[in-house]
Structure 1
Amino acid sequence: MRLWIFFALALLWLEVQHGLCQQTTRNKEAGENRTRPGRKRVKGRNPKVKEKESVSKGQSILTQVLDKGRFLRLGETLSLNPGKTLELRCKGTKIGWAYPSYLDTYNDNRLSIKQHDRFSQLILTSPSAADTGEYSCWVMLCDGEECERDADSTSKTYIYFTDKDELFVPSPIHFEIAYLHPDKHTTVPCRVTNPKIRVSLHREVPPKEIPVDGTQISYNPTKGFIIQTPSPEHKGAYYCKANSTTKSTPQISTMYQLLYVEVPSGPPFATIKASSNTVSGGDIFNLTCTVLGEPEMNVNFSWRYPGQDQRPVIIQDSWRLINRGVGHTTRISKSVLIVDDAETIDFGKYICTAKNKNGETSVATSVKSHD
């Protein structure tokens, strides 16, 4: 009997110990569960940081397509060998592009752009040194058929097509004119095909290398030599010289004629003059509208005159550069209206309107009958 009681007490003691162990295990598990949510909360903050980083990196929507479906997000510059097809992509359902302007000027069929559902694709086959320049894209925001550029989405990169035989970006013009404005900087646009090429600026007459101090005159391989505050002393003929580590003979650029500008920016300054303000029937007379302006500023002319749309007239437009004073260059633009075999309907007021990108000016004079 005592043995049975002892055995029952032993079993009771084992049950109590087993229950305590289970409680301790449950407490540990509960503690672990309380700890894990804490760690999850710490990890939960990281995706927010990554999300911000992805937005920052995602500001550039321009990529280059590499071999085997790989992509390279482009930075400020990129150097490539000529000859191999260039493929660029821009994310977006409606994308605008910009590239070296001469590709449009000559309607180059090597360039193609195609808009897909989620991206736009630019392909340039057989690129050469002449294709060196800035390539950019941006998202177009559209409301129906009206679209405007989203400036904040613009991505751009300057691509060098490094050609060991073409150190300067080729130009279709062998003698270029650059204008010196007293109120803005002037660029001598001798760009290179490799940013590592050493370039110097030279005056032709008298022969002299122009010192580049980085302040008054500086060099940017994507633009050329920049003169910050031009003066009449800078006018003359210049060229650039490039030295490469792979070629012993330096290469000479296009020639540049620097002309100092006298006329300030603004709407056209126009005058009008008749060959005679008093004419007889059957006479021939003309009226000349003249504008003096900046050398590179295009001027468009339009006329209003008696008998318009009823009488045939001849209108001839022309322009040329002239020197005024010492070292000053001005563009003179003219429009000449010629009336042959004057009739009564030709007498009255003649109005010439000259227009440039800064505005327009109208001037008038009258032609009367001599009778």
Structure 2
Amino acid sequence: MGLGLQRKMLRSGGPRLVPSLLLLLLLLPEALSAAAGQTSAKSKRPKEPGENKIKPANKRGKPTLAPGKDRDSIATMPKTSSIMMQVMEKGRFQKPAATLSLAAGQSLELRCKGNKIQWHYPEYLDTFKDSRLSMKQHDRYGQLILVNATAADTGEYSCWQQVCSGYVCRKDDTKTGTTYIFFTEKGELFVPSPSYFGVVYLNPDREAVVPCRVTVPSAKVTLHSEFPAKEIQSNGSIIYDIKRGFVYLHPQLDQQGVVYCRAEAHGAPQISIKYQLLYVEVPSGPPSTTIVASSNRVNGGDDITVLCTVLGEPDVEVEFRWIYPGLKDERPVTIQDTWRLVSRGLGCTTRLSQSVLALQDFETIDAGYYICTAQNLQGQTTVATTVQLS
């Protein structure tokens, strides 16, 4: 439209357009408000499923694994799950916690799922073949029952499934269960000991434990020497394990002596039995064995003795076996085994184990090799000597 024509229209229609423009300006705010209301009304409409759905930023999805080796290794990892259940009153069951605290006098029943269940429990119950403890294997679970529990029953109770192939059985590490139970008893802060005095051997190549365990998990326990009378500070070389006692991580010669433990709970202190700490010089391993005969050449009718000797760790037992010339002919001999602790200076203690074979009225069939085999948990050693008829 040309500029001249526009001016002409304004001159001809200007006065008539002014009222219309004013009316439009007056109605504009109401129109805008109505439009906003319609928009707001639309926004309140419930959304259809899937419409404008936005996932929260903090929501995690399942991690994706790269195909190949990682996925395969994770898929083949054995899954370990506890098979142990504690039978509660009224026939209820619950998985026992890592540690439990029960009052003495109560009964305990544990069950482990499986058709070949083996059990581990405090050695105290085995040592005295306690009739309060019973175990039974059912079709689908193993059962352990302990009645009228005492503070001495405090310890670890565990089970595992046996997997057998013929006569050979092994432990299934993926099907096990364990719990440590404190049986609290009035006047018994420490787990009672079968003796009034204990001996602990300090071996330089392994930990040593002063076994003063408590029946109250919250008890404060300290270690003390009898002479000089003082509390022994841990300083990192000695730690307290509530399930084992005071652990000497790296035993030293200067740590030997007589010690005891002190426990306190609810303002009532108690003293444990005393323990003699003895330093051991002999390293662990198969027996260090020697053999010697009273004489290597004897006359007919003489009596002889053959002595087999082992110097070893004080707390390691040794078993002896003999082979001698008259064995196949059932030649009568006398064999006597003994042991004792001996001091080797500097406060070191050694176990001297000996086996003596005695034979009377030496004959021709008795001439030959006398062989002694000494065995401990680490292995065995065989030594021999000859005895000849002059």
Shorter chain as denominator, the TM-score bin is 0.7 to 0.9
Q: How many Å apart are 1:144 and its aligned residue?
A: 4.4
Q: Does 1:209 align with 2:221?
A: no
CA distance in 1, matches of 2:79, 2:151: 30
CA distance in 2, matches of 1:131, 1:293: 32
Q: Does 1:317 align with 2:337?
A: yes
- Specify the alignment match of 1:233 in structure 2: 254
CA contact (8 A) 2:201 2:208 kept: yes
Q: How many Å apart are 1:145 and its aligned residue?
A: 4.7
- CA deviation digits over 1:273-315, x for unaligned, max 9? 1111121111111010001111111111111111114210000
Which of structure 1's runs of 4+ aligned residues deviate more than 4 A? none
- Specify the alignment match of 1:102 in structure 2: 124
CA distance in 2, matches of 1:58, 1:367: 60
Q: Does 1:356 align with 2:376?
A: yes
- CA deviation digits over 1:6-41, x for unaligned, max 9? xxxxxxxxxxxxxxxxxxxxxxxxx87x99xxxxxx
CA distance in 2, matches of 1:198, 1:130: 19
- Specify the alignment match of 1:291 in structure 2: 310
- Specify the alignment match of 2:285 in structure 1: 266
- CA deviation digits over 1:90-115, x for unaligned, max 9? 11222111101121221111111122
- CA deviation digits over 1:111-142, x for unaligned, max 9? 11122222211110000000000000111112
SS at match of 1:151: strand
CA distance in 2, matches of 1:159, 1:125: 14
Query: Would the alpha carbon gap of residues 271 and 58 (structure 1) be closer, same or farther in structure 2, given more than 3 Å must change?
Result: closer
- Specify the alignment match of 2:16 in structure 1: none
CA distance in 1, matches of 2:273, 2:287: 32
CA contact (8 A) 1:164 1:246 kept: no
CA distance in 1, matches of 2:258, 2:339: 22
- Specify the alignment match of 2:171 in structure 1: 149
- Specify the alignment match of 1:176 in structure 2: 198
- CA deviation digits over 1:59-97, x for unaligned, max 9? 111121111122221121000001111111111222111
SS at match of 2:174: helix
CA distance in 2, matches of 1:350, 1:57: 55
Give the TM-score of the pair, scaled to structure 1. 0.82
CA distance in 1, matches of 2:321, 2:163: 36
CA contact (8 A) 1:132 1:160 kept: yes
Identity %: 56
SS at match of 1:103: helix
Q: How many Å apart are 1:265 and its aligned residue?
A: 1.1
- CA deviation digits over 1:322-366, x for unaligned, max 9? 111211111111000001111121122111111112111111111
CA distance in 1, matches of 2:139, 2:320: 45
SS at match of 2:125: helix
Q: How does 1:332-371 map onto structure 2 within 5 Å?
A: 332-370=352-390
- Specify the alignment match of 1:223 in structure 2: 244
Query: Would the alpha carbon gap of residues 62 and 285 (structure 1) be closer, same or farther in structure 2, given more than 3 Å must change?
Result: same
Equivalent position to 1:193, from 199, 204, 215: 215
Q: Once superposed, what is the RMSD of the aligned Cα atoms?
A: 2.0
Corresponding letter in the other structure for 1:337:
L
CA distance in 2, matches of 1:141, 1:189: 34
Question: Which runs of 5 or more residues in structure 1 are unaligned?
Answer: 1-30, 36-44, 47-55
Question: Which runs of 5 or more residues in structure 2 are unaligned?
Answer: 1-47, 52-60, 63-77
Q: How does 1:35-54 map onto structure 2 within 5 Å?
A: none
CA distance in 2, matches of 1:146, 1:355: 24
Corresponding letter in the other structure for 1:90:
C
Query: Would the alpha carbon gap of residues 64 and 181 (structure 1) be closer, same or farther in structure 2, given more than 3 Å must change?
Result: same
Which range is displaced more, 129-138 or 110-119?
110-119
CA distance in 1, matches of 2:267, 2:94: 28
Which range is displaced more, 89-98 or 327-336?
89-98
Give the TM-score of the pair, scaled to structure 2. 0.78
- Specify the alignment match of 2:158 in structure 1: 136
CA distance in 1, matches of 2:169, 2:367: 48
CA contact (8 A) 1:87 1:123 kept: yes
SS at match of 2:82: coil
